[in-house]
Amino acid sequence: MDSQSGNIDDVAARSRIGSGGNAAAGRIAIEWARRHSPVLNGLLRRTLDDGVFTGRRIALVVHLEAKTAFLATVLADAGARVVVAGSNPHSTRDEIAAALVSHGIEVHSSRNSGYEQWEEDILAVADTEPEFIIDDGAELTIRMAKHRPVFYNNIKGVSEETTTGVARLRALEAAGRLPFPAMAANDAACKHMFDNRYGTGQSTIQAILQLTNFLMAGKRVAIVGYGWVGRGIATYVRGLGGRALVIEVDPIKALEAHMDGHTVAPAGQALPMADMVITATGGVRAIASNHLPLIKENAILANAGHHDLEIDVEAMDKASFSVRTVREGIERYELKDGKSVYVLSSGALVNIAGGLGHPIEIMDLSFAVQGLSSHEIASGDYAPGIHVIPKHLDEAIARARLAHEGIHLDQVSPEQRDTVDQWLGDDREH
């Protein structure tokens, strides 16, 4: 028997997963994530004990790997009827999907499924009529708005974890098409300050170096975008002896990058010098056809933003006379101008499609934000529109992690407080 449906065979029949998934290996990976996720396994579990999610339908559409799967099991253990899909066609781990099905959780996802199948999987999740959505890039939310409007209008709430997804939700709100409350989980301090900076920063560089077997020391790395993700990547590049060249369009972010000690330059100056180019904009075509003549011979191109379209692979195909895989996860493009460049993970998110994704400790924080955001909507009285997780919940997540590390904080004493009464004294006019 499983934790939510009573019949694993029925769950398997409803699911669509890859045929090569090793459920036993997936369960081992999920157990490893569980053992190192004290906030999810502690604070979130205790919060969900109130029964708010019992019998409620929750759709979880996030990059499908071990940490995501553990969150799914926590929600299912709280009584929710959970259905899962990957938020990208390249990032699902088949063994994890198989393990979730063996746990009794419906899954619609397989690795490298292609965009057409991925779209079908997303809509299959939509057809389960979720009441609550935990989303990545608003991939499920925007498709329900377009393709399943009746189900969309019945959604009780959404929690969104990415910069890109929050921007999409704000666009829906501006268009008058957000009929339910949505938590901008990405705006929580325990998400963007740690996930985007430390998580993406470390895991992106790890994946690039693992795929290429290159040394970072001495490399010039062009980073397109200096938001929280770009900051993190630049930090890890410098920490390993590389030199960050930041390409920005926002003058404030560019000034910040300059004051952080990085070289700031337009694409026309940075790309010809860069041994590696990493996109981190959250948008599309950060590297487009007009950039190809600028890119250095044998440069490595990798994407750390949300969209697979940050590197315009289609334009590169058209500009090349030969494309072939030269190493697992690396394709060489022989451009028609005679130059060769390399693209990692087919332009998909390199840290997930080409690596193991964010460190467990980071996702423990991020998924705690997602889980508590969803619980807050389900148990509260939020109006339609975009909201941010209350500060006390953000702080509770941080305190839970600190407590696990054996770190405890002082309190401000009465004599340390600077109050109106203290500095006005008895000289106030009456």
* CATH number for 165: 3.40.50.1480
Judge whether 132 lies within some domain: yes
Residues 340 and 377 in one domain: no
- Structural domain span for residue 382: 8-191+358-404
Mean pLDDT lowest among 47-51, 167-171, 322-326, 420-424 = 420-424
Confidence band for 283, pLDDT divided at 50, 70 and 90: confident
Residues 144 and 260 in one domain: no
Domain end among 353, 377, 412: 353
pLDDT score of 2 more than 80 = no
Judge whether 185 lies within some domain: yes
Mean pLDDT of 312-331: 95
* CB proximity list for 232: less than 8 A, separation 6 or greater: 196, 197, 198, 199, 200, 201, 202, 204
Whether 257 and 264 have beta carbons less than 8 Å apart is answered as yes
DSSP 3: S
pLDDT score of 5 more than 50 = no
Judge whether 235 lies within some domain: yes
Residues 283 and 349 in one domain: yes
> Which of 52, 122, 58, 66 has its CA nearest to residue 89?
122
Residues 362 and 347 in one domain: no
Domain end among 323, 353, 383: 353
Residue 121 Cα distances to 39, 84, 156, 354, angstroms: 30, 9, 21, 22
Confidence band for 149, pLDDT divided at 50, 70 and 90: very high
CB atoms under 10 Å from CB of 39, counted, come to 27
* Better-scored residue on pLDDT, 417 or 366: 366
Residues 184 and 118 in one domain: yes
Judge whether 373 lies within some domain: yes
pLDDT score of 1 more than 50 = no
pLDDT score of 341 more than 70 = yes
pLDDT of residue 427: 57
Q: What is the CATH number of the domain that holds 314?
A: 3.40.50.720
Residues 373 and 327 in one domain: no
pLDDT score of 333 more than 80 = yes
Confidence band for 233, pLDDT divided at 50, 70 and 90: very high
Residue 34 Cα distances to 23, 69, 298, angstroms: 16, 10, 41
pLDDT score of 3 more than 70 = no
Task: Identify residue 216 by its one-letter amino acid code.
Answer: M
Residues 260 and 383 in one domain: no
Judge whether 415 lies within some domain: no
Confidence band for 428, pLDDT divided at 50, 70 and 90: low
Residues 114 and 183 in one domain: yes
Residues 347 and 376 in one domain: no
pLDDT score of 146 more than 50 = yes
Residues 143 and 265 in one domain: no
Judge whether 409 lies within some domain: no
* pTM exceeding 0.85: yes
pLDDT score of 391 more than 60 = yes
pLDDT of residue 416: 79
Judge whether 335 lies within some domain: yes
pLDDT of residue 426: 58
Confidence band for 425, pLDDT divided at 50, 70 and 90: low
* Better-scored residue on pLDDT, 411 or 7: 411
Whether 254 and 226 have beta carbons less than 8 Å apart is answered as yes
Judge whether 423 lies within some domain: no
CA distance 278 to 205: 10
Confidence band for 413, pLDDT divided at 50, 70 and 90: confident
Mean pLDDT lowest among 81-85, 145-149, 187-191, 303-307 = 303-307
CA distance 419 to 430: 19
Residues 114 and 259 in one domain: no
| Count of domains observed in the chain | 2
Structure tokens at 309: 């379209």
CA distance 389 to 427: 42
Residues 133 and 252 in one domain: no
